[in-house]
DNA sequence: CACACAACCTGTCAGC
DNA sequence: TGCTGACAGGTTGTGT
């Protein structure tokens, strides 16, 4: 469930062992993930020093020496696992493995293979088709109720769908949209363009709070999510509505409901969210 | 253009 | 125990 907090947790874990190090070995064990890997993928990365690890939306950006950026998306099931020493137990879904001059190895494992990787010149990063058009970072000060109001103006999509739209705001996924709408008391089926500014004044801080708490907790451990150091995240114990169909609302004790919107489960409290 | 929905791929779990 | 269907964190492409 890599949403922003899980991607950020992964980025931080990787940064500890990669920044400043040289990638001495890399193997792509198949030619494609969701899309084909770029030409000379492994060859282009091998031997370069890692300058910095950054994140934009749900993408991890590894800046390599020589003005090259390695773009990584974890998709639905992608994970990065770090270990000391080259792995000797490589699994069927361990698609990319790379190691540093200090002997750390990172395995990109992705059963469903919805993940993606690409390489782009640093000077062309912002224009890359995966990143162009992505909305504001929700944790930036520039993401305000006023900005969100403008982005939602005239939208007839329900709030649930609007917040999942990465061009409206970056990094939210199914879980944190549900959680943020609950915290702000906004019904997920409310049409985005009709939500009152006063509600958005509650929603923006709610988004920032739920993401900040989740990052602080090290991401969520829903299903099999593992941080880069192998520790399970533990934010899932704090979900208030997600995956809690039929349970009592933490605020009013009414039953949490589950509906399907644009093909995905939405959880909400029909009494607290209007 | 905006929006809804299917598709991509594999694993897991509930129910029979 | 084995089979089937529903469902899972995301994004893109197609159709209306």
Q: Is residue A95 a contact partner of residue A28, using CB atoms and an 8 Å limit?
A: yes
The whole-model pTM stands at 0.95
Fold of A4-127: N-terminal domain of MutM-like DNA repair proteins (3.20.190)
Instruction: Quote the tokens at residue A262.
Output: 């644009």
Q: Which CATH number fits domain A145-268: 1.10.8.50, 1.10.1760.20, 1.20.1430.10, 3.50.20.10?
A: 1.10.8.50
* Nearest nt to the A155 alpha carbon by C1': B2
Distance set, CA A271 to CA A92, A107, A175, A195 (Å): 46, 45, 20, 17
CA distances from A176 to A84, A127, A262 (A): 33, 27, 16
**Catalytic site residues of A?**
2-3, 58, 264
pLDDT (0 to 100) of residue A238: 78
Measured N-to-C along each axis, helices A174-184 and A197-216 cross at an angle, to the nearest 10 degrees, of 130
- For nucleotide B12, the protein residue with its alpha carbon nearest to C1' is A223
Q: Which nucleotide is nearest to A77 (CA to C1')?
A: C9
Let me know if the fold of A4-127 is the same as that of A145-268. no
Going residue by residue through chain A (274 aa), what tens digit of pLDDT does each one get?
599 999 999 999 999 999 999 999 999 999 999 999 999 999 999 999 999 999 999 999 999 999 999 999 999 999 999 999 999 999 999 999 999 999 999 999 999 999 999 999 999 999 999 999 999 999 999 999 999 999 999 999 999 999 999 999 999 999 999 999 999 999 999 999 999 999 999 999 999 999 999 998 887 655 444 555 656 566 666 799 999 999 999 999 999 999 999 899 999 999 999 9
Q: Where are the domains of chain A?
A: 4-127, 145-268
The answer to whether A264 CB sits below 7 Å from nucleic acid chain B is: no
Rounded Cα distance, A228 and A13, in Å: 5
Within A 154-213, residues with CB less than 7 Å from strand B:
154-158, 161, 192-193
């Amino acid at each position: 469930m890599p949403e922003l907090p899980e991607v950020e947790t992964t980025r931080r874990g990787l940064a500890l062992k990669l920044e400043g190090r040289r990638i001495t070995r890399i193997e792509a064990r198949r030619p494609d993930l969701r899309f084909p890997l770029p030409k000379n993928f492994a060859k282009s990365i091998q031997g370069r020093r890692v300058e910095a690890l950054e994140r934009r939306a749900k993408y991890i950006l590894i800046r390599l020496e020589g003005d090259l950026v390695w773009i990584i998306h974890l998709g639905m099931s992608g994970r990065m696992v770090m270990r000391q020493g080259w792995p000797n137990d490589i699994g069927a879904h361990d698609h990319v493995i790379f190691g540093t001059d200090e002997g750390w190895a990172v395995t990109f494992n992705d059963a469903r293979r919805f993940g993606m990787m690409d390489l782009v010149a640093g000077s062309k990063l912002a224009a890359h088709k995966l990143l162009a058009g992505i909305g504001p970072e929700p944790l930036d000060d520039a993401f305000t109720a006023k900005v969100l109001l403008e982005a939602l103006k005239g939208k007839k999509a329900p709030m649930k769908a609007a917040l999942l739209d990465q061009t409206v705001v970056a990094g939210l996924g199914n879980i944190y949209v549900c959680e943020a709408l609950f915290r702000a008391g906004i019904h997920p089926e409310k049409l985005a363009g009709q939500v009152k500014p006063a509600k958005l004044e509650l929603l923006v801080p709610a988004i920032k709070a739920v993401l900040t708490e989740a990052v602080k907790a090290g991401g969520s451990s829903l299903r099999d999510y593992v941080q880069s150091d192998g520790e399970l995240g533990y934010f899932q114990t704090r979900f208030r509505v997600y995956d809690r169909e039929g349970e009592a609302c933490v605020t009013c004790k009414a039953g949490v409901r589950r509906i399907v919107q644009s093909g995905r489960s939405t959880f909400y409290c029909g009494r607290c969210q209007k």
